[in-house]
Each structure stands twice: as structure tokens, then as C-alpha cells.
Amino acid sequence: MQKKTLKVLHFSDIHVGTLVRHMQWKKWFSKRAIGAINLLRGRAAYFDEVEEKMAAMVRFKEANDIDIVINTGDYTALGLEHELVLARELMDPLMHPPQRYLTVPGNHDIYVHEGSSHYRFSEQFCSVLQNDLPEYCAGGHYPLVRLIGEDAAVIALNSAKPNPWPWRSDGHIPTVQLDAFKKMLEDPRIAGRFLFVITHYAPRLADGTPDRKLHGLHNADALLHACAPIEQGAILFGHVHRTYRVDVPEVKIPLFCAGSATMEGHEGAWVYELNAGVLSHRQLYWNGEAYTLDPKY
């Protein structure tokens, strides 16, 4: 029998660091060269304790009766294979059963276009990319749907794309995915459910405005337009390393940015509780040793 309240843990942007010495020389002549230099210049220091924090996230999940885990991408710093392998290992205890873990890649997980960059992500996360309505797949694994009991579903859209220039970290949801998503909303297997729509990029910032062009989601308006018919649900994302909730006039459902679960001094995430179609939410904080629902502890 399904329990009455569905508990969802949503976190993002853990940015498992890389040891730059592992990189092959060829890869320095690309966006990674800039990314690696940035890492060397100190960005990595903000993500020094990813492994300890993810161990704490596992403890939080186990202690809090979490039903569904959602990770909205940016697992890595540079999308290198050994970073993705490490990220996969850190996520492993959160990915059981795989039907209860949903994810999308972030822009850092497909950092440069090498032909295999998308494949590399799906290779590591293949066990959690099963789709309950695969007939809607359009150009890859997405849109990816997971039906949760009789009353809820998670729909994942992939907004990450390789960026050819180091100063760009913008994203785009392919039109074929959005078209499939719109059709899916009319499917009787989806209609009437509470829908968590997840993607990496933020459709809106904390103040309700769009992100800037070189950092944001190009077709944020199209995504919000596609979500307009949804009566009950939430749009979940990361990319912006700040945890916030915002309501915008374009949609009837709230937007939640998980921020970064691991960025030192900015750690955050969300726990949502869905009970009889009503969503409540609590922010997750880091107290130096554990994740906690109360900022004072």
C-alpha cells in the first residue's frame, strides 16, 4: 500500500572536482583549458568536501524516509570520465531503487562537444534513465517520465548542451522535446497527476526575471508556456548556485531552484512533501557536519 505522504529530496550542482593532473594534454586546447585554469585559481576550493557532503546526504535520506531523489545535474566540474565515475559512485546509495531516482545532465556534465559527451553521462547513469512512457522520447533519453503511484509523476527535460565557448554556459531544451512534453500532458496516463517537471537550467531567477543570455535557458519562455496548462505541480532545477523558490505569472505552479548542495557557504537543497495533492516544502541546510531542515542546527 502506498504511504500517504510522498517525500522528495531535490538537490543539484554537487560539482565533483577533478584532479587536473589526470587530464590529457589534448584536452587543454578546449573549453576545459579555461575551466581547468579556473579550478586552479580557486573555484575547486568551494567544492573541496563533496565526498563528505554526499555521505551526509545519504545519511539524511536514510534518516528521513525519503521516497524520491531528484538531482538536477552539474555532477562534475569538467565532464571528464573519471569525474562522472566518481559522481556515479557517490550517488550509488541514493539510486536504490533506480525507479526512485530521477536526473538530468547539467552543462558541466557535457562540458565540451566530443561526440561522446552525452553518451558518457548516460553510460554512467543508465540504470536510472528508464522511461515509463518511452514512446515520447525525442532525440535521446528525454523527455523521461516516471509515474509515481497513482497520483504523481516526474517529467525530466534535458536542457544541457555543450558550449563551444568558455564564456558561455547557456542552455536550450530542443523543440522536439518540448513538443513531446506538450503532447504528453494530454496523455490520460499523465493528466490529473501532480507533476514535478525537472531540468538543469533555471527558467527564472529568484526575483522572477530571466537569467542572462550567456548563462540562462534560451527558451525559458517556451518552457513556461508549455507548463502553463499544469494545474498541480512544480518546476525543479539547479544551475544557479542559490536555493530559492519563486512564483511567476506565466504558470500556476511554483519554481524551485535547489542551488548547490555542496558549494561551501552556499549549501542548499529542498525536501518536498506531497499529501493529497498539496505540496509543502522545506529548505535543507548544511551545519558543517550534516544536512538539516532547521537553519539553527
Our finding on whether 107 is near Fe ion (CB under 5 A) is yes
Rounded to a whole number of angstroms, the minimum distance from the CB of residue 72 to Fe ion is 9
Q: Is position 109 an interface residue for Fe ion (rule: CB under 5 A)?
A: no
Residues in 133-172 at the binding interface with Fe ion, rule: CB under 5 A: none
Cβ nearer to Fe ion, comparing 143 with 216 = 216
Site track for Fe ion across 21-60, x = CB under 5 A? ----------------------------------------
Closest distance between Fe ion and the C-beta of residue 181, in Å?
A: 21
Q: How far is the CB of 249 from Fe ion (least distance, A)?
A: 26
Cell numbers describing residue 96: 536504490
Cβ burial, residue 250 (10 Å; 0-12/13-18/19+)? middle
In the complex, least distance from residue 209 CB atom to Fe ion, rounded to whole angstroms: 18
In the bound complex, which residue of the shown chain has the CB atom lying closest to Fe ion?
A: 74
**Quick one: DSSP state of residue 196?**
E
In degrees, to the nearest 5, what angle opens at C-alpha 243 toward C-alphas 81 and 156? 55
The whole-angstrom separation of Cα 221 and Cα 178 is 12
Sign of the CA dihedral with 194 first, then 199, 202, and 203 last: negative
- Kindly tell me the burial class for residue 114, based on how many C-beta atoms sit within 10 Å of its own C-beta (0-12, 13-18, 19 or more): middle
Q: Which of residues 220-239 bind Fe ion (CB under 5 A)?
A: 239
Question: Can you tell me whether residue 112 is helix, strand or coil?
Answer: coil
218 three-class SS:
coil
* By the rule CB under 5 A, 13 interacts with Fe ion: yes
Q: Please give the size of the binding site for Fe ion, defined by CB under 5 A.
A: 5
The span from the CA of 110 to the CA of 142, in Å, is: 15
Is residue 74 near Fe ion by the rule CB under 5 A?
yes
Quick one: 107 or 199, whose CB is closer to Fe ion?
107
Interface residues toward Fe ion, by CB under 5 A: 13, 74, 106-107, 239
